[in-house]
Chain A
Amino acid sequence: MAKAKTNTSSGAKTEDVLARHGVTAKIALELMQEMLLYRRFEEKAEESYAIGKIGGFCHLHIGQEAGAAGVIKVLQPEDYAISAYRSHTQAIAKGISPKAVMAELYGRVGGISGGKGGSMHVFGRDARFFGGHGIVGGQVPLATGIGWKIKYSGENLVCICFMGDATVNQGGFHECLNMAAVWELPVIYVVENNKYGMGTAFDRVSKTEISARSVPFDIPASSVNGQDVLSTFKHFRNLTEEVRSGGGPRLVELRTYRFRGHSMSDPVSGTYRSTEEVERHKEESDPIAILRHQLFAEGVLDQDTLEEMDVTAKTIAAEATDFADESPIPEPEALYENVWAATNVHGRLFFDGQRT
């Protein structure tokens, strides 16, 4: 990640706390740089998809970047994060290089999963980013298991479990909240409420609000403006420390909005939401624009610096696609690798006649 400059052109010091926001200028500028990168990265992915370099389903986080930046910023490197398929930016935020994420989207050897996972399955064990899950709600039990491990081993860590709003209607979500509450697991269940699960508005198929879902389990719930990265960051800074020090699980709703279609195969608007609605959100709740206003008003950022930061973001995104382009496609042998542990094998594991 490119470092933001230590002193801004307007003269304010980056270690100064922005009084109105309770965040240092340094952090705020880093969040800006990160969100710019996520935006430019996703735009590159969009371009690459359009020309067929990325295939299958590809879900972009454009419009929701503050969730990745503001939440993951508060974590320590050993903390865990896990997510669904809309997770390129979260993977980068957690420390996987943009190059390795982009190469995964391209299905190349340099991809973080060797090209075998694709856009929906970005995994980075070393970065403690545990995927990249394609089945709605599939990651929620896994997060609960990670929380179990943390507690089992007496570690001072937390696990962030990202999911979409529509995911809270899966039974497994409720089963897990109960278990996490019973065993006081250090898991923060983060629901990115972008108002829709594909083309279905949350309210049409949901009786109660997201924050009401943890009430039966006595898990504290909160709701944050997920387009305001400073609020998101502050909220999670406090919350994470509560959970880390044994406070048990939390449920957080991040109120957000997706600026693109559900996936690259879906229209941006249509019967389920109007073009005007999308345009209004882009106008009023773009997380980058909101932070820009805040930082301009505080005098810690000016247009020139912002443009430089954007150049940095674009450069990193372009380097990611260059890397992906140059990374070779997997060798045919890779097809049969990593199906099994391959140690201590007696008897036949493969049955297709190609491998025995």
Chain B
Amino acid sequence: MATMTYREALNEALREEMDRDPDVFLMGEEVAEYDGAYKVSKGLLDVFGDQRVVDAPISELGFAGLGVGAAMAGLRPVIEFMTFNFAYLALDQIINNASKLRYMSGGQFKVPITFRGPNGPALQLGAQHSQACETYFLHAPGCKVVTPATPADAKGLLKASIRDDDPVAFMEGELLYNLKGEVPEEDDFVIPLGVADLKRVGSDVSIITHGQMVHLALQASDKLESEGIEAEVLDLRSVRPLDVDAILETVQKTNRVVYLEDSWPYAGTGAQVVSIIQEEAFDHLDAPVLRVTQADVPMPYAKNLEALAKPSVEQVLESCKKVLYR
């Protein structure tokens, strides 16, 4: 094992995949000379040159679509959005093109492209720069959505995403770049998409979550432990594909579920997971599944309002106790 930051783990994944496959290139705003707005692509320009590490103008619709076209024609692009907030400008290319080309062409085309960048509420960045964007990318079939929570997951899942033959929205936690963790040193460390990970084993209640919120769930479980409650934390790691087996397994084990996400509740990932649970594991539930989400409002700037808008440890504790009838 090597200890490294989430940022370094992503950097290693990019380096290794670019080394492995000459068709992989990285394009985005500030990715080359500036090393990336969040320094994820640090040093890559020097190693791979400016044909493969490319600074783009602020033209999200254009360069995302350029990536889609290049992927149709045989390359394996990694398109960085400075943050996923700006990917909304490119949604047409991602949803109407990348996600549907395989189907519309009767399988003639594959679109092996990775759209990556920071995602999720950050610190006082306000309504347009602080939001979890997963739902927009997974609502229409055809695009996978991956949300790593740890350095190891970041590395293994990014490598799998780049190798995947479908479009992947690879959503990094905006607040996780400095997070340190152990990353396996094996030669080719790849984590397949669609495999959830138990980040904590417990028997009383399951907290199902993904992305940045995994850490909030772990904090909450520590508090619960001190009150004699053993929470299990299931990190979905990718929300499409979704590891339904792992979800059902934890439900069958604890019979009580709290779904935690930092996106809005309406048609969020939690709504889908809850629907699956009630369809496929209804008899295993001892309480209705509760969701803890971002407040159903655009993110406010004021610090105190922002704290109220984001999911809190307290809300998770409260919901866990509620499903335990405590």
Asked if B97 is at the interface of the complex by the 8 Å CB criterion, the answer is no
A353–chain B nearest beta-carbon distance, Å: 7
| A6-B129 Cα distance, complex, nearest whole Å | 46
Interface size class of A (residues with CB under 8 A): 35 or more
| A118-B122 Cα distance, complex, nearest whole Å | 14
| A352-B29 Cα distance, complex, nearest whole Å | 35
Interface-lining segment among A197-205, A230-238, A247-255: A197-205
B295–A200 contact, CB under 8 A?
no
Which residues between 116 and 171 of chain A lie within 8 Å of chain B, taking CB atoms? 116-121, 133-138, 166-167, 169-171
Inside 8 A of A204's CB, which chain B residues have their CB?
Answer: 33, 55
Asked if A107 is at the interface of the complex by the 8 Å CB criterion, the answer is yes
| A199-B35 Cα distance, complex, nearest whole Å | 10
Inside 8 A of B304's CB, which chain A residues have their CB?
Answer: 107, 329-330, 332
Q: Select which of B29, B129, B293, B294 is within 8 A of A200 by beta carbon.
A: B29
| A120-B130 Cα distance, complex, nearest whole Å | 12
- Against A, the Cβ 8 Å flags (1 = close, 0 = not) of B35-76 are 001000000000000000001111111100000000000000
| A245-B241 Cα distance, complex, nearest whole Å | 59
A118–chain B nearest beta-carbon distance, Å: 3
Known: A55-B303, A335-B297. A171 touches B129 (CB 8 A): no
Query: Chain B interface mostly helix, strand, loop or mixed?
Result: loop
Q: Select which of B59, B88, B266 is within 8 A of A351 by beta carbon.
A: B266
B124–chain A nearest beta-carbon distance, Å: 4
B124–A107 contact, CB under 8 A?
yes
| A353-B295 Cα distance, complex, nearest whole Å | 9
Q: Select which of A197, A339, A354 is within 8 A of B58 by beta carbon.
A: A197
Known: A135-B85, A171-B59, A335-B309. A121 touches B30 (CB 8 A): no
Asked if A350 is at the interface of the complex by the 8 Å CB criterion, the answer is yes
Inside 8 A of A108's CB, which chain B residues have their CB?
Answer: 302
Asked if A10 is at the interface of the complex by the 8 Å CB criterion, the answer is no
> How many residues of B are counted as interface, with CB atoms below 8 angstroms from the partner's CB atoms?
42
Known: A271-B34, A352-B265. A335 touches B128 (CB 8 A): no
Inside 8 A of B86's CB, which chain A residues have their CB?
Answer: 135-136
A121–B55 contact, CB under 8 A?
no
Which residues between 199 and 217 of chain A lie within 8 Å of chain B, taking CB atoms? 199-200, 204-206
Asked if A98 is at the interface of the complex by the 8 Å CB criterion, the answer is no
B57–A332 contact, CB under 8 A?
no
| A57-B293 Cα distance, complex, nearest whole Å | 24
B262–chain A nearest beta-carbon distance, Å: 12
Inside 8 A of A55's CB, which chain B residues have their CB?
Answer: 123-124, 301, 303
A134–B128 contact, CB under 8 A?
yes
Asked if B179 is at the interface of the complex by the 8 Å CB criterion, the answer is no
Pull 16 A–B residue pairs with CB atoms less than 8 Å apart, ordered by A.
A56-B125, A56-B301, A57-B129, A107-B301, A116-B127, A134-B126, A136-B58, A137-B89, A169-B58, A170-B59, A170-B60, A205-B56, A330-B302, A336-B295, A352-B295, A352-B296
Extra contacts, 9 of them, besides A57-B129, A118-B125, A120-B126 (Cβ < 8 A), are A118-B302, A135-B88, A136-B86, A271-B33, A272-B34, A330-B302, A330-B305, A351-B265, A352-B296
